[in-house]
Amino acid sequence: MEMEPLILEPGALLLKQLAESDKDINSLFRKVENDDNLEDYTIQTLLELWDQVAKKFLLQKQGIKKLDETLLSLEFSRADKLKSVLKKYVEIIEKTSCLMQPNMYRLINKEAM
């Protein structure tokens, strides 16, 4: 419950950015598609269009990398929290267990996996 909003918010933001970027790219292509005078386009004009599309895709790529870094850091913090909880309860089980320690650790390992 604690981690879910931290994952959903950046994911929703990226989806919104990707949707806006797709609209922008589609509008750029529609300008060319709807123009009947394609012969009037020069190589320079088409290269400028290509550069605009490439910039949009670069922004998408940067957004995806940023989300990946965010999710990776969240995964590490989640693993640290799980580790601390597991250590806490292993100590409690060690103190109250009637099993021998090797058997207890095997049981804990089996359940954790």
Q: Can you give the pLDDT at residue 37? A: 74
d(CA 109, CA 102): 10
d(CA 85, CA 82): 5
Task: State pLDDT tens for residues 40-88.
Answer: 778 888 899 899 999 999 999 999 999 999 999 999 999 999 899 989 9
Q: Can you give the pLDDT at residue 14? A: 93
**63, 17 Cβ separation under 8 angstroms:** yes
Task: State pLDDT tens for residues 15-48.
Answer: 999 999 999 999 988 887 877 777 777 888 889 9
Task: State pLDDT tens for residues 94-107.
Answer: 888 887 888 888 88
pTM for the full predicted model: 0.70
Residue that the structure tokens 């981690």 belong to: 3
Q: Can you give the pLDDT at residue 67? A: 94
How does residue 1 score in pLDDT terms, banded at 50, 70 and 90? confident
Positive or negative torsion for Cα 87, 91, 96, 98: positive
